[in-house]
Amino acid sequence: MRMLVLGGIRSGKSQWAESAIAAAVTGSQPVCYLATGPAPAGDADWEARVAAHRSRRPTSWSTVETTDVATQLRSAPGAATLVDDIGSWLTAAMDRSGAWRGGSVADDVADLLDAVRGFASPLALVSPEVGLTVVPPTEAGRRFADELGLLNQRLAALCDRVVLVVAGQPVTVKDTGQAEARP
């Protein structure tokens, strides 16, 4: 089961994804939490956000802080995995490739999509939803929004389930386990 969990800032998407991956685990299957965001020292607000995420996780889960999500997915195919979040991963990929000024993240995206496609254990991918606000006023902001929007679409196509979390409430966007509603 591959699941994409979308939402805005402070929408509750991470907490909802944590509950969903915990419910998807069978028996004593290990759970790996891939944290893609930086943990910079000196930013009290960011440190508090990271601490809140850490405090919610069961102590039995392993945590890996990395932006190399594709390699991690390939190295631990038996562990249920939660990736939080795709936006931070994309920021790091854009930094590496110079995409803020016209470079391409195509190879990084292709590698991530291939790893997601091949992952056989429960997988939850958390990502910010774009397009729910004004168009960013800067070129870099527009590039990020465009890249993340396209990446979210491609991940959604690979996932069995897509959930949008709004005000802590999940709204199912896609669920291949349910019959499609007919008008």
Asked whether 163 and 12 are in contact (CB, 8 A), the reply is: no
Asked whether 2 and 159 are in contact (CB, 8 A), the reply is: yes
Would you call 53 a catalytic residue per the annotation?
A: yes
> Which residue is catalytic, options 1, 15, 46, 53?
53
Burial class (CB in 10 A: 0-12, 13-18, 19+), 127: buried
Residue 55 marked as a ligand binder = yes
For the chain, how long is the longest CA-to-CA vector?
A: 54
Asked whether 164 and 129 are in contact (CB, 8 A), the reply is: yes
Paired tokens of 67:
């932006």
Residue 7 marked as a ligand binder = yes
Give 64's contacts (C-beta < 8 A, 6+ positions apart): 32, 33, 34, 35, 72
Residue 174 marked as a ligand binder = no
Give 159's contacts (C-beta < 8 A, 6+ positions apart): 2, 3, 4, 116, 125, 174
- Binding region: 7-14, 35-37, 54-57, 65, 84
- Binding region for GTP: 7-14, 35-37, 54-57, 65, 84
Give catalytic residue positions: 53
